[in-house]
Structure 1
């Protein structure tokens, strides 16, 4: 089966996507971020004690758990995932990635706002 799928022209699990940049000033607007990834700021190289972090905050992430366990696929049976879940309250998640040192920092708090992340 694996050999047949590898040789088949149709591979629905593989896909490609692309983005058309419509803003003619995109490069100028993105230059500061591109320079930081290249370890420069305002034309000056970053020092060893300077960091570039890419961060994101996800507020009100719903903690959910399935009401019934997922059943693994079996012979002639697809995996079964129940669509019902219980809500466990909202969480706030903050993640940061140290671009040049390949370190990930993350934190999850039961509340949103500045105080939990201060």
Structure 2
């Protein structure tokens, strides 16, 4: 890896400290959480034209390879770094509104609702 940013160690150190449950040199309390979020855009939504048929006696499973296009979606996910839990949602658009929907979904669940 060739790092070009002269401040890389400082910037990466802040993130790595959070992974180690440390913020500004102080350990995080049990009721403090580190959530990492990201989005994957332009996921092709495809639907098979016919259902998959389960294998039977003397017959292999049959899968239809033709599909209908269903447009493009975005997947937004929030990852709890220390509890290894992922919460996510699909959206037809990206931007602040879908992101806030994800934040609201995360904050409505335990243990984050108490934070």
TM-score tier after normalising by the smaller chain length: 0.5 to 0.7
User: TM-score if structure 2 supplies the norm length?
Assistant: 0.63
- Give the Å deviation of 1:70: 0.4
1:45 maps to 2:3: no
Aligned to 1:87: 69
Question: Partners in 1 of 2:99 and 2:13 — Cα distance?
Answer: 30
Q: Counterparts of 1:76 and 1:47 in 2: how far apart (Å)?
A: 60
Quote the Cα distance in structure 2 between the aligned partners of 1:82 and 1:37.
44
1:69 equivalent in structure 2: 51
- Residue 4 of structure 1 corresponds to none
* Count of matched residue positions in the alignment of Structure 1 and Structure 2: 94
Question: In 1, distance between residues paired with 2:71 and 2:65?
Answer: 18
TM (normalized to structure 1)?
Answer: 0.61
Please give the alpha-carbon distance, in whole angstroms, between the structure 2 residues aligned to 1:57 and 1:32. 22
Shift of 1:33: 4.1
Taking only aligned residues, the RMSD between alpha carbons, in angstroms, comes to 2.6
> Contact 1:35–1:41 at 8 Å: present in 2 too?
yes
Q: Which segment is superposed worse, 48-57 or 88-97?
A: 48-57
- Where in structure 1 are there 5+ consecutive unaligned residues? 1-22
**Counterpart among 93, 99, 103 of residue 117 in structure 1:** 99
Inter-partner Cα distance in structure 1 for 2:60 and 2:72: 32
1:52 positional shift: 0.9
Residue 48 of structure 1 deviates from its aligned partner by: 3.7
Whether 1:60 aligns to 2:52 is no
